[in-house]
Structure 1
Amino acid sequence: MAINRSLLMFQTVEDLLGPGRTPLRIPDFQRPYSWTPQHARQLVTDIASARERRPEQPYVMGTMILLQRPGEDHFEVVDGQQRLLTLHMLRTLLRDGRLRDLASGTTPIHRVYQGLARLVEKMQDKAGSLRFLDSRAQVLRIVTDDEDEAFQFFDSQNFRGKALRPHDLLKASHLREMVATPAAEQRAVVEQWESAEENDLDRLFGTYLARIHWWSRNLPAHAFTAEDLDLFKGVSRSTPRLPATEYHRAAKTVLPGVQQWAHPDADERAARDLRRARHQLDAPLSAGRSFFDFATFMLEEMERFENLLFRRDTEMGDPDPDLEIFRVGARFRFNRELYIAAALYFTNKYSEDDLHEIRPRLFRWAFGPRLAYERLGWKSTDNFARGLATAREGLAAFNLFARMRDSLDPAQLALENLPIPPTVRSTSEDDKTLQALLEEIR
């Protein structure tokens, strides 16, 4: 199973969308249309520029990756759906057609259609533009009958072009593991994933989960990129069936059912602990549906703690105005990220039963480094998290993440009486306020 060489060719827009074409379908689990009017306008501008410069020459717009499953008479669009749908709308408008369902509305595809309609209305030579689009604008069509291979091409195309965010590639990887799952379930998973904000997913994987992984193993943290995807790919269909992987496969399969049987009436807090047991940060993920459940739960945890940790009381939930500067202030960004990452890891292992008591100590540990430097940068933060601080800085050489990874009992963490710098290195009034707050915590 490989690329179908007989179908590997450049195709004009007319070949792709005109009469006699092979039917194209966009799978239910694909990302919804997300181009903006600016993207579409740039496509039109590029085509017009190519027509003006070399009207008789082909204009290649990129690659389209298609999947043809055995026995099917249509192609599934793996990569290229945004361009394909935009070309369909543009071609329809140039032929004086209308797509009435798109004439009003506010979704991305509605806005793009309406923007294209305004552009086409201003064109002086619509017939010439249509001829060039149909006969000279081309894409390179790649067809494979192997789903894994199709997505490998998809990944490599996006590595070389405008890079997708790492979490987009994780989504594609884990959807591949759901090939035998009913389409309705795949669609539900994607809708759930797409309901999350892009920046929230970036923050979850890049700011918290990847750093927890590295710091707990005494490794330096860095920007989470496509080269780090293996951290979250987990145990998949292709993973060798060895004792360790079989253990994790069995745990992911059996534990939810056992929990439901043993705790049918769990309250909200107990239910969260049951989900934490299924989604342990120290354990390998299970590829496919389990990954999406993991991501959904950890997003909920992240969003809760980004607010909960800066409240007067973890039970009552009233914001504390005295802590607001530490929750949102740019000066305390790295400390805030340390604090939330530590709380995520702590509660994932030990529950949040003792969070009210442990929270001030986590705060003291995470915000202490702010006092040690006039300017707290990323390198100093990373070194502190890995336990590389020095007595000269007034900080303990203490890797809390590694300590948590190696301890099943939170009492072994020894967070009491960790030192903080005795003096403030900066002249910031906020730092002086912080020092007074930290000195109250033991």
Structure 2
Amino acid sequence: MQQLEAQEVSLHKVFSSDYDFRIPDYQRPYAWDVEQAVQLLTDLEESLDRGKDEPYFLGSIVLVKAKGNAPAEVIDGQQRLTTLTILLALLRDLTEDPDLRSDLDRLVTEPGNKVRRLDPKPRLTLRFRDAGFFQKYVQTKGATEALRILKEETLPTDAQKAVLRNARALHAILADWSEDRRLDLVLMLGERTFLVVVSTPDLDSAHRIFSVMNSRGMDLSPTDIFKSHIIGALDEKTSEECARKWEDAEEALGRD
């Protein structure tokens, strides 16, 4: 097994130029439902109410990532990273403070830095079918208002429909909060909220970690694990082609 690293990383470092998250096409689509998205916010709110010194752990993610390099292929953790991005985007678009809006936008998107040779880009890139939609309606500053008025039946993928439903549900909760309470949540997310980031430069090692973690209670189906192993082992061009054929079948027949 190649060198494995596991460390606690604060959320403001997770959503920084240290990581360029990408969801491979062979991964399952974004599939969290409203109950899971709202539960994440509820857990954060409960932690917020318990006190200012208690750290909050959001669980773990598994990456294929070379040490010192930003590109990070997400093997496990897509659902959590996508939902957190939606949450940060909503907080960004709800705040009346322009400085806070800019700070939150930098968590959602890399603004670019000529000195460090960083191009502007999203912190998280979803699979090919959903990446453009997510960037347009979530990651672009001010875009979540346009997202929430879309008609679900017009969206082409289940993942996009899930993004819409979850954004509406989270917005309904956050919009009822005061500006000060939303600021308290932002401060908690930035200062004392952590993910355990497990990374290895070797895809086979990452898949073994993924399989072990998901054989112990996480809600991925055997089909998801099978798809990850088989399509993920193909060369890049073949992997993309097979992943899209797989998704065509999922859209036609339903994931179940």
TM over 0.5: yes
Contact 1:68 1:145 in 2 (8 A): yes
CA distance in 1, matches of 2:68, 2:250: 31
Which amino acid counterpart does residue 223 of structure 2 have in structure 1? H
Which amino acid counterpart does residue 45 of structure 1 have in structure 2? T
2:42 maps to 45
1:109 maps to 163
Which 5+ residue runs of structure 2 have no aligned equivalent? 95-140, 153-160
Which amino acid counterpart does residue 99 of structure 1 have in structure 2? A
Are the structure 2 counterparts of residues 82 and 188 from structure 1 closer, same or farther at C-alpha, using a change threshold of 3 Å? same
Which 5+ residue runs of structure 1 have no aligned equivalent? 200-442
Identical aligned pairs, as a percentage? Answer: 28
CA distance in 2, matches of 1:12, 1:71: 17
Cα deviations by residue, 1:367-423 (Å, 9 ceiling, x for unpaired): xxxxxxxxxxxxxxxxxxxxxxxxxxxxxxxxxxxxxxxxxxxxxxxxxxxxxxxxx
1:11 maps to 9
- 1:167 equivalent to 2:164? Answer no
1:148 maps to 204
Deviation at 1:72, TM superposition (A): 6.3
Are the structure 2 counterparts of residues 157 and 115 from structure 1 closer, same or farther at C-alpha, using a change threshold of 3 Å? same
CA distance in 2, matches of 1:183, 1:33: 18
Which amino acid counterpart does residue 108 of structure 1 have in structure 2? A
Which amino acid counterpart does residue 119 of structure 1 have in structure 2? I
Deviation at 1:109, TM superposition (A): 0.8
Are the structure 2 counterparts of residues 69 and 115 from structure 1 closer, same or farther at C-alpha, using a change threshold of 3 Å? same
CA distance in 1, matches of 2:255, 2:239: 24
Are the structure 2 counterparts of residues 72 and 191 from structure 1 closer, same or farther at C-alpha, using a change threshold of 3 Å? farther
Contact 1:68 1:74 in 2 (8 A): yes
Contact 1:178 1:186 in 2 (8 A): no
- 1:198 equivalent to 2:255? Answer yes
CA distance in 2, matches of 1:160, 1:68: 24
Deviation at 1:113, TM superposition (A): 1.1
Contact 2:8 2:195 in 1 (8 A): yes
Are the structure 2 counterparts of residues 72 and 40 from structure 1 closer, same or farther at C-alpha, using a change threshold of 3 Å? same
CA distance in 2, matches of 1:33, 1:53: 31
- Considering only aligned residues, what root-mean-square deviation do their CA atoms show, in Å? 2.3
- Paired residue total: 196
Cα deviations by residue, 1:78-121 (Å, 9 ceiling, x for unpaired): 11111101111111222335334633242111111111111110
**Structure holding more strand per residue:** 2
Contact 2:64 2:75 in 1 (8 A): yes
Cα deviations by residue, 1:292-347 (Å, 9 ceiling, x for unpaired): xxxxxxxxxxxxxxxxxxxxxxxxxxxxxxxxxxxxxxxxxxxxxxxxxxxxxxxx
Deviation at 1:77, TM superposition (A): 1.0
CA distance in 2, matches of 1:57, 1:147: 35
Q: Which has the larger radius of gyration?
A: 1
Trace 1:183-194 onto structure 2 (pairs within 5 A): 183-194=239-250
1:2 maps to 2
> TM-score normalized by structure 1?
0.41
2:143 maps to 99
1:137 maps to 193
Deviation at 1:193, TM superposition (A): 4.5
**Structure holding more helix per residue:** 1
> TM-score normalized by structure 2?
0.69
Cα deviations by residue, 1:136-182 (Å, 9 ceiling, x for unpaired): 11110011111111111111112223342222222222123314544
Are the structure 2 counterparts of residues 167 and 30 from structure 1 closer, same or farther at C-alpha, using a change threshold of 3 Å? closer
CA distance in 2, matches of 1:11, 1:70: 14
2:121 maps to none
CA distance in 2, matches of 1:114, 1:89: 10
Trace 1:189-228 onto structure 2 (pairs within 5 A): 189-195=245-251, 196-199=253-256
